[in-house]
Structure formats: structure tokens, C-alpha cells
A and B are shown apart, each in its own frame.
Chain A
Amino acid sequence: MMSTLFAILFYLATLLFVVGLLSRINTYARTPAPLKIPTTPAPTTKGGVVLRMTREVVFFESLFKANLWTWSMGWLFHASLALVVLRHLRYFTEPVWGWVAFIQPFGVYAGITMLAGLAGLWARRLFVERIRYISTPSDHLWLVLLIAIAASGLLMKFAAHTDVIAVKTFFLGWMHFDIQTLPADALLIVHLSLVLLLLVFFPISKLLHAPGVFFSPTRNQTDNPRDKRHIAGWAKQMESESGK
């Protein structure tokens, strides 16, 4: 019964996540950027833009310039999260890919550093006057949610082991629309329920910063306005052939 419920919830959540995110990305992609507004100095070639975006997404270059504390906590959290997510691929692959097997031990430590990063970010939000001023309840709740996901995961690893073989069987089955039994384990239920919340709310929340950064005109535009005419469709319509 519970296994079926979770299987269905995961289908729905995944659907909402994927459709929500794609529709948002679609909106961003279709909205024109009528003017050239890269924050200069900016790359003058497409290759340069790819490099700039890579530095931004992988190293958080701008945040590094802005504030070392926020950068170190933020980067620690995101890098750890990436490792943790990749580590979880083992629940969805059989046989487990070689590199996924290789990163398993690092993924465990990443769970701890992820928690540390989140704690640091939350401390900043709670104790730095300026950051507290700009925080909304949802800003705090997102941190609580992520901390709870990380903590419940770590507890399953270090305190109350869950039957990971059964979990894997459940998700492998889930991928083929074949519902297997999910262990009735309180920590696991909490962990998975929180992940469901994350998936559902992702496309309508500030987590849209993840796709958003790629569409940010100040970061993704090439600095070549004198060499190539850039004009949006709606702006072109204002022009007449007679030149006025």
C-alpha cells in the first residue's frame, strides 16, 4: 500500500519537476533580450562566453568576488550536493557504473560537508543583519528542508541503517513501472517525502536560479555590439524600410 503510494507520488513529482522546469526554461528561451547588456569586461567571442559561464557555474566566480564567506559555504554546499546526487545513481543503475562505484566513499563525506555548508549558510541568514533583513520565511524553509534531507540521509548511513538493497529494488522496479516493496522505515519515509517536496516546488521557487543563470543576459551575451547588429523581433517591427 505504502509502496504503491510512494511509487505514484514519485511519478507525479517527477512529472511536475520535469514539465515545470522545461516550461520555465522554454519561457526564458523564448523571451527576447532586446539589448546587448553583458556586464563588462565581457568575452568578445562565443568561446569566451562558454568559459565565463563555466567559471560562473562551476566555481561561482562572481560570488567569490563578492563575499568569501558566502562563497565558501555556498560552494561547499553545491559541490557536496552534486557528489551526493551522483552517488545516489547507484540506486538507479544495475550494474552500477564504474565511476559511480568509485565516488561512493567521497559521496558519504560529501553528505557531511553538504550539511556543514547548509549550516553555514543558515547561520549567515540568521546572524548577519543585512541577510536577515532580506530573508523571507521561504528562504529559511528551503534551508530547513535541505538540512532535513541531508540529516535523514546521513542518519540512515551512520545511525539506523535502512535496507538499501530493498530501496534499490524498489527504484529499479519503479523505473520500469513495476512496483516493488519499499522498506517501512521511518527515516527513509521522511527522507523520500522531503525529496518529493523538493521536486514539486523546484520549478516554482527560487531554485530556478539553477536554470536561470544560463539565461542571464549579463553573463551569456557576447560583447560584440559594434560588429554585429543585435535586434529583437518586436523592436525590428518599429523600423521602416525608408530608414526612419
Chain B
Amino acid sequence: MGAHRTGLFLAVLLGAQLARAGEASFIDLPLEDLGKLEVAAVSRKAQKLADTPAAVTVLSAEDIRRSGARSIPEALREVPGVNVAQIGTSRWAVGVRGAQGRFANKLLVQVDGRSIYNPLFSGVFWEAQDIMIEDVERIEVVRGPGASLWGANAVNGVINVVTRKASATRGGLASVSADSQGGVTTAVRQGVGLEGVGAMRVFAKGRDLGRSETADGDRASDKAGGWLAGFRLDGEGGWMVQGNAYRHTSKELLPVSIALAPNGSFPVSFVFEGSNLLARRQWAMAGGDATLQAYVDHTDAWLNAQGNGKTDIVDVDFQHTLAPMGRHDLMWGLGARYGRVDFDSNSPAFTFQDQLVEYRIASAFVQDEISLVPQSLMLTLGSRFEHSTLADFETQPTVRLMWTPTKDDSLWLNWSRAARTPSIGEINANVVLGAQPLPQPPFPQGSFAVLRSLPAPGLRPRAERVDALELGYRRTLPNGSFEAVLFHHDYRRLISPTAGPLDYLSSAPLLVQPVFRSYFSNARTTGLELAADMAITATLRVQGSYTVLDTQARHYADPVADASGMALAAAAPHHWASLHGLWSPGGGHELDLMLRRVGAVGGGVPAYTSVDVRYGWHLGRAFDLAVVGQNLFDNRHLEYASDFFVSQLSYQPRRAYIQGLWRF
């Protein structure tokens, strides 16, 4: 069917539906009946975004539930500008505005204000993160730099996962789901009210996930599973304490050169164990609001028996929003963090120059929202000043101008600068990347060069930097919203490899080819993000998103540096789109149809289209049933080929799962 015919058909359909949508009056219903009324279309939280001069998407609990997502990365698949690729069973590559990859290092991710960005490898180990998805209240996705507020590493975006207050999760909940690959996930939660104190919930979750497939349709060696347990206590008077403990394992197979392993592959098992405790208090201060938050976080990661990295973080954050003064709305804050990373390896393939690294970060931020023309023109000036012992002093400013000509339209223009601090791995790690056969003359037969990645001699750690420009338009409609954002990011001092001289001192037939890491390369990205959400009839809602992205890396004379730049440019698709139809015919039935199209990615990942369907049924207040089919019209597809840690390719098969949820 051609595009024109579909368009025409849709327009006719919409017209007919609109004409039919007669308005029933709910105004006169008595109080008793209002609470029984089923909401046909729960609106997106677009309202509170209308005043935000940034590209922000908020996924509500309802959006997450209707997407059928069982993990945070899955829930992000329909957000414009966000590219999500499943690497394996519990491994994900999540990138915002490009720079995607398993170790996508320019995206800050926080859960209830606690950073889950790993300082050892600069990025998020999604396989080490699990959450009680039923208790997530919303996920806020800020595209573009958020560094002026959130600090370093919020270069391309910030993802804030916010869980419900304990007072909103009273009662018990049990959820069981089973997938077609044989994986079973169970979760239980109990919420209680504490007289005179507040409310509390405790929860536990165990998961065993269905494996991916190999290119031939065999089961891939990427078994993953684990458990999570925790609590959240919300007190009367504005304080909160929460804690989590977890253990997750994830296996994968590394295809390595025959020169290094006899059967050409090396099984790797990651184990992540951790616990964290966070406390927050909010109070009135000088006519405004103050928040003080502190947390401790411990993670212990093992790579087989060979490597073990222990990370401890202590973080304190203070924020004060002042009472409005004339045209000014002022906010300021202070932050301090101490981190300690202890890395221990008994494999020569992976070593650290300094086994124990301690670092400290001190930061301050200030932001002023100035109403130039009341209700119409607003200027935001802000900056974060940050000193890290891993990098230099960084100023991360932003200037944002927003024009709201009408109540329903907003137009904004931003300029921001953000920094990514070098990770401890980048400064310290000495890693074998692989081996390459050497040409027979001049080398003896069977000679190999072992590629070793290490910091360049005399490396001065410096933060990567981005300058970002953004032009956005948002329109709020009575029955939906529309958003279009144009952006241009200019990156400098990106970490990049160069080839060092072949080390003839190492013994033949294995010679060492060093690959030096330093901060020098430049790149640019330009793109457009479109999103729309609208209620077409009382029972049908459609959400769509489309992103087009172009990445250009600068060319270098050094072949390794040039190849690295080209790989970066091809690491994200040029375009991707999603369309989600939500139909709620009543009687507690729900039907969702989700279409996604993702363009090809470098490294041999072809473009793919996936079709997912979800059917949900509320059987009264006590029981919900959901049946989800994913990737329905495709035997299997590949979403990702590794950029650095090259593991066996995992193909995502056709999958189904069924979930039962009880409330008691």
C-alpha cells in the first residue's frame, strides 16, 4: 500500500471517528459514580513540561505498563532521540542522540536521585540494574546536556527513574511472569502505613531471563538472572529513606583469536553484587524549599574468577529553591562525592596500572529563571562548577530562551556546554583487544601481533566536552501534544586510540602492538526528533516518534584513530521510528500495537522492523493479566554488534510472555 493511500484512509477514518465522538456529560455524576468511571485515555504528563525549555519526555507508570516493558531500557524504546538496542538477554545499549554502545558514556542515569553511572567504565551496566517496574512512578528523559543542573557526564542526556512514594504503594502486590524461552520472573511487594511515622514498603524480585539466539537459531550462551530486594520509607514531614541489595549474573561468549584460545571462544561470566542506602529530607528554608540528600553505594563486580572491581561511593547533595523575587526564580546547590575503586585482576589480559583509585568531586550550581515578559518570554541562565580529582575544573553553563506566544505553544532555543570526566578504566586499564596475524616476511610464520589498549605515555586526563545547540517547539492540544526538536552537538577531546610502535622486545611469535588512548578527537552530530501523542476517539490513542541523526567524525592521518572515528559515526542508526496504538474498548480490556523501525548500524547490523502486541485485562481491582508478543513477524533479528567488548552476536527471537498481577 502506498503512502498516499494509507494517508487518505487514515484521514477518512479520523474524520468519521471525530464526527461520532459525541460528548457525554460527566459533570452531573454523583460522587459515588465518579470513582467507578473508567478513564478512557489517561493523558500524558505533557502539561508540566509545557514550561520547560528543554527536550524532555516523561513516561508515566501507565505508559510503561502499556508498553509491556519489563526493564528500564525496554520502556525507553518509544522515546524520541533515544536509541535502545538489546545486546543479549539482560545486556542493553542505550544511547541518547547517538554515541550509542554498551559503554555509552555520555548519558547520566539516576534512580531516585542515586547515580547508577559506573565510574570504573563510564557508563551504565544495564545487566546489573533491575527494578520493581510496577512501583516506578515515572521515567523522565532529558535529551541534550543536563550538566548545568546534574553535573558531569550528563552530556547527551539524563534519565531519571522515580519510584512511587511508599504512601502510594499501600497493600500487597505479587507478580509472576513467564516467557516463551522458559524464563520466569516473580516479584512481591508489601506496603504498610506506619501510624504517626509515615508509610513503608518492602519488596523482593527474582528473575531468570529467556536466552537470545545465535544466527542459526540455536540458543545463545547468554543466560542471565538474579535477585533484588529493598525497602522505601516515606515519613510525614518530608523525609525518605530507601535501600536496595541485589545480585545479578550475566554470561556471554567472547569469540577470540585461535592464537589466544584453542577453541576460538572464551566464556565470560559477569557477577554484580551491590547494596545502597539513600536518605533525603525536604524542608522550608528562607521562604523557599531546601532538599538534602545523601547516599552510600557499594558494588562488587566479578569477571569470571580473573577480575574483581569494588566500587564505593558516598555522595551528598544540597539544593535550595528560593521564593520568587520579582522577575527572578533562583535555585542553587552544592554537591560532594567521594569514590573509591579497587580493581584486582589475575589475568594478564586485563590489568590496572593503579589498583586502588580514590577520587573526590566538589561542585556547586546556580540557576536563575528570569521572566523577561510575564507569561511569554523567559530566560534561564545557569551553570554548574565542578572540580574532580580525575579531571580539571569544569564550568558547565547553559542559556535557555523560551517564548510562549499562546497558552498552548512553546518555542525554545538553548545553548549548553557539558563535560564527561575520564573513567578510571580509561586512565588505568591495560587490555588485550585481540590478535592479528603478521605478514610472513619479515615476520616468521605463525607470528601474531597482540593488540593491547593502554593509556598513552604521559597521558593527562581531561574531560571530553560538548557544545550543544537546540531549537524546540511544543504544542499542547486538548486531546494530545506534539513536539519537534532540532539539535546540533559539537564534541571535542573525545577519547580516541592511536597506534603505537610495534614492540619488538616482546618475544616472537607473539609481538605486542600497543594502542594508545588519549583525548583528542572531534565529532559532530545533527538531528531532528519528532513526537506526537493524541487521543483519536474515547477509546483509541496513538503515540508516535521519529528521529533522524547524522554523526560526522573528523578524519585523522593515524589509521587507528581514523577507523575509531568512522566506527563512532556509524555506531547509531541514521533514523528510527516508533508507532504505538493504545486501544481501551472498556470492560477492563486493553490492546496495544507497537511498531518500530530502526535503521542499520555499523559493524554489520542491518535495519529491522519489529511488531509487538500486548493484550491486558483488568479483572476487577485485584487481578491483572497481560499477554505480550514481541517481534511477531520476524524469526530473529540482530540489534547490536559490540563496539569494544566483542561478544558473540545475540539475535532477538520471536518472544512471548504472560504476566499475572495480584493486589491484596
A binds B: no
List the interface of chain B (C-beta within 8 A of A).
Answer: none
List the interface of chain A (C-beta within 8 A of B).
Answer: none
